[in-house]
Structure 1
């Protein structure tokens, strides 16, 4: 994907390495539902499963185990990749803006990647820089810095000046 005018690539990365957050509530509900259905099938074959408290208890226990194990299983390499990429992006932001407070967190960078919105930044207090994540090619993402000149109303001043110069003989 060719970059537009004013867009400068900062870094590229494989989107799969960032990983995908799973909602533990959805995992809990899904595992609970599947376990409940399994218990309903087992009711025909195992007599103690005909007790409703055993069915509900086993569904809750298995759903809780599934949700906890899914939430705890984010591999260390995904976490280290997130930390490394966030550190690299923060170094680039510091180089461009000179402002150590204009950092991004891991969650904020994740939102930039997944939601593809632009984060406005200031260069020495003047707006005109945006961080944005775009698709470079399938499976690849690219972090770009989009530079826009601040609007000081110079165009309207130039128009007024040229109109005035044309009016005077």
Structure 2
């Protein structure tokens, strides 16, 4: 099949034509003048950036603000939940594409076991955290009467 162009059609505009190099078979990239962007301003900005980097780190490396038990539990849960999601997803995919098979069953069971393990570990940590007394969260003594003694009952009051 030849060209579908009619001889009366105008030539199509080629946006790259003005950048073609007649001596080679490639495009030439125009250069941009950088004379206006003085080196003085650039060095001042660079000095400010380096000063900010030296004064305070972008990511704090001190991990003392998190208790080590919480940090260990967090990362353990992250790994277990990731494993559970992976095995459950693969189990469902094998189940859908291969039908009921031993591989899909094993993957689904492993995923459910890992999910149960993650829930159990999370609840155990919550119980330990709730049971441990914190120095910051000690309740202040209250002067209010206990909840079951809010109102005194006199013999003169009517009961309904």
Give the TM-score normalised by structure 2.
0.28
Q: Which protein, 1 or 2, shows the higher relative CO under an 8 Å CA cutoff with sep ≥ 6?
A: 1
Please, what TM-score do these two structures have when normalized by structure 1?
0.27
- Looking at secondary structure, tell me which structure has more strand per residue: 1
